Amino acid sequence: MNKKNQTILALYPNRYGIGYAVFDTPDNLVEYGIGYVQPISNKKTMKRVKQYIAYYKPNVIITRNINDQNKKSKRIEKLIDCICKEAQLQNFEVHSYTRTQIKDVFLQFGANSKYQISQKIIGWYKRLESYTFPERKRWMAENHNTGVFDAVSLAMTHYYLE
């Protein structure tokens, strides 16, 4: 199978649950969203991840790699480990990318912050415009829609680096 024509499921855990994006090709964003999990728990989030895997039947699963960040949540770190283990158990190809790798890819397109990255992604995929969020100030919490753009940016990083 052509690597450019594989179904990719990008998963980006965050404080609301998990952002996800499904691609068949770099130009074909099939599905996206935020799997809200309340109250937040890894067990409930993994149940949601397994549902995504069963429904979308991806060839490749992509998640974030937080090894380069020391202040991230231990819960999210454990969740990412669980996602990778589940993907490997089901014989999926697994890739993970750091926030630094994502930023490096998007810097080439003139986008540095999460807001700028989201605006670049909206330029590529107009249907994501309804998920736009205001530029974050230091005192503001991260917008819940950020998860969609985090997942899409993971997939774009994969396409760019692979």
What is residue 54's predicted lDDT score, i.e. its pLDDT?
A: 94
Rounded to whole angstroms, what are the CA distances from 34 to 10, 105, 117?
11, 23, 17
DSSP structure class, residue 132: -
pLDDT given at position 70: 53
pLDDT number for residue 118? 95
As given in the structure block, the two tokens for residue 96 are: 């993970």
Distances (CA, A) of 118 to 6, 66, 133: 24, 20, 8
For position 141, what pLDDT does the model report?
83
- How many Å apart are CA 131 and CA 35, to the nearest integer? 14
75-113 tens-digit pLDDT = 888 999 999 999 999 999 999 999 899 999 999 999 999
Looking at residue 105, its pLDDT comes to: 95
What was the pLDDT predicted at 134?
A: 84
Structural domain total, the chain: 1
Q: For position 140, which CATH number holds?
A: 3.30.420.10
Query: Which two structure tokens, joined as six digits, stand for 105?
Result: 């890819």
pLDDT of residue 72: 60
Q: How far is CA 112 from CA 33, 65, 103, 115, in A?
A: 22, 18, 6, 8
Q: Is 134 exposed, middle or buried (0-12, 13-18, 19+ CB in 10 A)?
A: exposed
Q: Does a cis peptide bond (omega within 30 degrees of 0) precede residue 26?
A: no
Which of the 8 DSSP states describes residue 147? H
pLDDT of residue 142: 83
Residues of the chain with pLDDT under 50: 1
Q: Check residue 1 and give its pLDDT.
A: 42
Which residues span the domain enclosing 104?
3-161
